[in-house]
Structure 1
Amino acid sequence: MYRFAFRLSGQQQDAEDLVQDVVVKLYPRLDELESVDQLRPWLNRVLYRHFIDQVRRKGRQSDRPLSEVVDSVSQSAYLDSFASEDAGPEEMVDISRIGPALDQVMATLAPDQRALIMLHDVDGWRQEDIAEVLDIPLGTVKSRLHRCRAALREKLQRELEPFSNTGRVKD
């Protein structure tokens, strides 16, 4: 539950508070939890709904990119852990550009879009499980995932290539 809450909120304290709120809310109803067939998706659905309620209560507020939450040393170490031993200088430059750009672009996505991308592409959840947790049809998950990826791709391309073809000097 904590990992899912952290993926939703993006901050350790908020994730801890979210999990604690859900556990406190469900503790008096332990006897009802025994009748739930698949506890993990059910708990994640409760956690997701509680998160959405909190977001709605707080109103729209800007999300912070990962670079503001995690210090640059930890972020660099995390990104470097994915580089192969044979990575050349060009690949290292690309990696150093993509990480911060991806963090910035992910911060611009709506919380439900970010949650969908994180659940499927980062955590590796099946689309059927996501549909059950978010309580939406499977086709909706597929279409939203496609639109989220397309928006993420477009924003990332704009972030990494700030100059359009019209702004370049022609030969």
Structure 2
Amino acid sequence: MQRAEMPILAVLGPQTSLPRSTPSELAPALVERARRGDADAMRALVLHHQKPVHALLYRLLVPSGRGALVEDCTQETFLRVYRALPDFQPQGAAKLSTWILTIATRLALNELRRPSLVVAVDELAALPVSSPLHADSLVERRALGQAIRDALGQLPPDQRAVLVLRELHGLEYAEIAGILDLELGTLKSRLARARAAMRTALEHHHG
């Protein structure tokens, strides 16, 4: 995969320290304790995964003007994790981190499929923007961040999810296909369309 195509997406935040990959997997013994209802183990699990879950939901919901739902959806994600964790199979095909991101992604997509809301332009303009690019000025970086958020907001939710999971969370194609219940060919086609739309939007931004 040509990852260099989309480094500009890093300006989406919100936490600039967030790695582009999912977190390391927790020790099996700790996961097993959490599955059995150990409160301390469950707390450790939430602390370990809350940053990528929050960032994923932020990146999926905010471009559609639904930033107010991020915190609620983060809490709902971990509530669902807590309820379903006893049935999670650590030796199964899905890693725990991918399983948790699956819950968060499907929750966000359900929200995005509800009747559309008007994007709050003032809210988007106020979002923090931090770019690794060497822009000439803070104004340019903010304009670039706004252009990216606007472009992401125009993507269909399923395309946005593919792009965010691949480019910002570093998931493999097979993992994303499982999360979104897609055939591999469909996933790659959707990702290509999303990348093309983003490139076009950014070309327009740069004039």
TM-score by length of 1: 0.69
Corresponding residue for residue 28 of structure 1: 83
* Structure 2 counterpart of 1:105, from 138, 145, 151: 151
Cα displacement string for residues 72-106 of structure 1 (whole angstroms, at most 9, x for unaligned residues): 7x42xx12x432xxxxxxx6269545333222222
- Which residue is equivalent to 2:27? none
Larger helix proportion of the pair? 1
SS in 2 for 1:124: coil
1:1-171 paired onto structure 2 within 5 Å: 1-10=53-62, 13-34=68-89, 37=92, 38-56=95-113, 58-64=114-120, 68-69=123-124, 71=126, 74-75=128-129, 78-79=130-131, 81-83=132-134, 92=136, 96=141, 97-161=143-207
Deviations 1:41-77 (A, max 9, x none): 2222222222222223x31223446x734637x42xx
Q: Higher relative CO (CA 8 A, sep ≥ 6), structure 1 or 2?
A: 2
Distance 1:138 1:28 in 2: 30
Seen in structure 2, the aligned counterparts of structure 1 residues 98 and 25 have a Cα distance that, compared at 3 Å, is closer
**Corresponding residue number in structure 2 for 1:87:** none
Which range moves more in the overlay, 144-153 or 110-119?
110-119
Percent of residue pairs identical: 26
Give 3-state SS (helix, strand or coil) of 2:182's partner. coil
SS of equivalent residue, structure 1 residue 92 = coil
Which structure has the bigger radius of gyration? Answer: 1
What is the distance in 1 between the residues matched to 2:200 and 2:117?
23
Residue type of the alignment partner of 1:50: L
* CA displacement at 1:134 relative to structure 2: 1.2
SS in 1 for 2:136: helix
1:28 and 1:114, CA in 2 relative to 1: closer, same or farther beyond 3 A? closer
Runs of 4+ deviating beyond 6 Å:
none
Deviation at 1:31, TM superposition (A): 1.8
CA distance in 2, matches of 1:48, 1:69: 21
**Alpha-carbon spacing, 1:70–1:124, altered in 2? closer, same or farther (3 Å):** farther
- Distance in 2 (CA, whole Å) between partners of 1:45 and 1:18 is 13
- Structure 1 unpaired stretches of 5+: 84-90, 162-171
Q: Tell me the matched-pair count.
A: 148
RMSD: 2.9
